[in-house]
């Protein structure tokens, strides 16, 4: 990304409340300054993947690139932390452009909730009763009844998160696909999910919603007792992540497929 040259005085820092992140924030602000976010050309997020997701949601409509440095635990979306040469690292960073999912959930009372998800939209049973779900793709029924703990739809950027933990596939970042992955499926027992084009619209209907309540979560926003959930890629929103050369999100996802 050689044409990206932010002024050193146009950086805004955000940090998690964790002590390591707050200490890093104080040192970096003393060294580089800290302008208000609405005046910044680039946002620096300090923490783990949780703070990166929060930052992406906060600035989702700003068009501002986000550069994260790991002061948390996992840090899959983050760069290594270093105080020296920060402006130069931003200058030479590689861009990853990601699109979120748009979720529209209607609960059993007819109330509508809209949300966006950068990683995944997941549906989970709320009680000891297993969920019974009907899955439609572009209006066509593809599964009349999935009996399971739930199901999720993951973006390529989110395919290494919850999706991977329930044995879903890892998707390269530039792949125009979504992962539709069951969570502890009971019937069909051997169904392992599907790869869908990212232009489709997915509808999940909750069968026996009163007896078998289900919640829907878009990243961190949860809607309880849903009846139907519509999920589609939001092409009107684009988010830019910055990573050091050789450590792009594309490269990290590729490594994940060959790593332990």
Contacts by residues 9-12 (CB-CB < 8 Å, ≥ 24 positions apart): 9/33, 9/35, 10/35, 10/39, 10/40, 10/41, 10/42, 11/35, 11/40, 11/41, 11/42, 11/43, 11/44, 11/86, 11/87, 11/90, 12/36, 12/37, 12/39, 12/40, 12/42, 12/43, 12/44
Chain centre to alpha carbon of residue 78? 13
Catalytic residue at 244?
no
State the catalytic residue, choosing from 49, 84, 107, 244: 49
What's the DSSP call for residue 138?
T
Helix (H, G, I), strand (E, B), or coil: what is residue 255? helix
Give the whole-angstrom CA distance, residue 170 versus residue 174: 12
Question: Considering only CA atoms, which of 246, 237, 255 is closest in space to residue 93?
Answer: 246
| Cα gap 256→251, rounded to integer Å | 9
Give CA–CA dist 147/188, Å, rounded: 7
* Burial of 217 (C-beta count, 10 Å sphere; 0-12/13-18/19+): buried
Write out the catalytic residue numbers. Answer: 49
């Amino acid at each position: 990304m050689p044409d990206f040259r932010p002024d050193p005085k146009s950086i805004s820092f955000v940090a998690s409340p964790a002590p390591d992140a707050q200490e890093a924030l104080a040192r970096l602000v003393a060294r580089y300054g800290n302008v208000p976010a609405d005046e910044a050309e680039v946002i620096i997020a300090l923490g783990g993947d949780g703070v990166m997701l929060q930052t992406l949601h906060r600035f989702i409509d700003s068009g501002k690139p986000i550069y994260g440095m790991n002061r948390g635990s996992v840090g899959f979306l983050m760069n290594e932390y270093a105080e020296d040469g920060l402006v130069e690292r931003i200058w030479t960073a590689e861009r990853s452009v990601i699109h979120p999912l748009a979720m529209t959930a209607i609960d059993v009372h007819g109330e509508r909730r809209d949300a966006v998800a950068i990683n995944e939209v997941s549906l989970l049973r709320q009680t000891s009763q297993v969920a019974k779900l009907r899955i439609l793709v572009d209006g066509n029924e593809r599964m009349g009844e999935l009996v399971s703990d739930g199901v999720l739809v993951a973006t390529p950027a989110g395919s290494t998160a919850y999706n991977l933990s329930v044995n879903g596939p890892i998707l390269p970042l530039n792949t125009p696909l979504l992962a539709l992955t069951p969570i502890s499926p009971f019937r069909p027992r051997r169904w392992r999910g599907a790869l869908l084009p990212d232009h489709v619209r997915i509808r999940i209907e909750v069968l026996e919603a009163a007896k078998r309540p289900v919640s829907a979560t878009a990243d961190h926003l949860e809607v309880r007792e849903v009846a139907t959930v519509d999920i589609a890629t939001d092409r009107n929103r684009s988010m830019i992540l910055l990573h050091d050369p050789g450590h792009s999100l594309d490269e990290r996802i590729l490594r994940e497929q060959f790593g332990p």
